[in-house]
Amino acid sequence: MRAALAAAAGAIGVVALLVGCAPAAPDAAQTDAPSDGPAAEQRSEELLQVTEPHELTGGTLLEGPTFHEDGSLFMVDVMAPAGEAKVLRVDVDERDVDQVFTDETSAFTSAQFHPNDGRLYLTDFLGGGVMSITADGEDPQVHFSGDVDGIAMLPDDIAFHPDGTMFVTDTRGMDGPGWETPGRVVRIGADGQASTLAGDLPSPNGIVFDEEDAGLWVAQYNANRIDYFALDETRTRVVSAYPAIHVDGGIGRIDSTAVDAEGNIYQMFHEKAEIVVFAKTGEQIGTIRVPGEGLESATNIAIAPGTTDGYLVVSGPAGGFVHTFEAYGEGIRQSNGG
């Protein structure tokens, strides 16, 4: 997912490529957006700069924007070295940035608030697990680490069911050819027990429940397509799965995925400063382009709950920024974090 993660990993003593966010989708045929909604094509507007490139790791990469109940916007910097802010909080009204958490070893690739306990859950690409902190950055706890069915994870994005069950993309294979499919979706129960929900996947990256919490949209990084997984009532088994949306990525590959209250799917990219929006029936209804030089990766979004106020994180040689846009539906849990 992220070429940038390679630099972060090297700085922490890891040689493997780390990043799993995905590059770009060229222009696809678009349908008209609703006449009373946002334009089919938008240009985002800069809200503020959050980070500078880190000298030690050679860059910065913002991910996982998610709103706290107090209205502040949390996010992670995948490439932040030890001692620098790995979890950040942005006051979108005052345009202030605060450091929330750092440690010596982690590379966080996503963030999402638990639907019940209020803690911020973080996928640790380097550690191969999931941990959480309070909104104040205190009391770090590891919720899962170790192998799943005998194989270590490269956890990327996370999706919560309302009952607290976690679904995590294991983006293994991201640095290999697309016809090799070692990637997985891993289910982690409230008891911390992990199992493979789906395997033989081409490096899955984005993952999000649909607006009814019935099934999962899964973005396949090494295939440039979004699959739909219908789950059984216990959410322990995939009852059907199929390609739902093909994204013309060119040399780029797709990254994180979000869903709004209307069921629209927002697909983000690594190494492309753009977001494409699809109706759940598959038609492309919107494109959000990020202006400016030195911005390469629009990796994820958050939509303020109950509004159409959209925020995207974009990074590149110029640094890490938050931009704003008008969403095509109101924000819900599925359009925050992951």
123-174 pLDDT tens trace: 999 999 999 999 999 999 999 999 999 999 999 999 999 999 999 999 998 8
Residue 250 confidence (pLDDT): 76
What is the rounded distance in angstroms from the CA atom of residue 312 to the CA atom of residue 224? 21
- Are 140 and 103 in contact by the 8 Å Cβ rule? The answer is yes
Above 80 in pLDDT, residue 265?
yes
Q: What is the DSSP secondary-structure string of 6-46? A: HHHHHHTT--S--------------PPPPTTS--SEEE-EE
Asked whether the whole model's pTM tops 0.85, one would answer yes
Average pLDDT of the chain, as a whole number? 90
Instruction: List the strands of the sheet with 319-326, edge to edge.
Output: 45-51, 319-326, 309-316, 297-303
Between 177 and 160, name the one with better pLDDT: 160
- Which tokens go with 136? 């104040």
- HSE-up of 277 (CA within 13 Å, CB side)? 27
Q: CA nearest 74: which of 323, 302, 330?
A: 302
> What is the greatest pairwise CA distance in the chain?
52
Helix (H) or strand (E) holding 268: strand 265-270
- Are 134 and 122 in contact by the 8 Å Cβ rule? The answer is no
- How far is CA 286 from its chain centroid? 19
Helix, strand, coil content of the chain in percent (nearest 5): 5, 50, 50
- Are 81 and 56 in contact by the 8 Å Cβ rule? The answer is yes
Residue 148 confidence (pLDDT): 95
- Residue ranges and CATH numbers for the domains of the chain are 23-335 (2.120.10.30)
pLDDT digits (tens, 9 = 90+) for 29-88: 334 444 578 889 999 999 999 999 999 999 999 999 999 999 999 999 999 999 999 999
Residue 4 confidence (pLDDT): 52
Instruction: List the strands of the sheet with 274-278, edge to edge.
Output: 41-43, 284-289, 274-278, 265-270, 253-259
Residue 5 confidence (pLDDT): 53
Residue burial 316-331, b: 16+ Cβ < 10 Å; e: rest = bebbbbbbebbbbbbb
Residue 25 confidence (pLDDT): 41
Between 338 and 155, name the one with better pLDDT: 155
Residue 234 confidence (pLDDT): 93
Above 90 in pLDDT, residue 13?
no
DSSP label at residue 5: H
Above 70 in pLDDT, residue 26?
no
DSSP label at residue 336: B
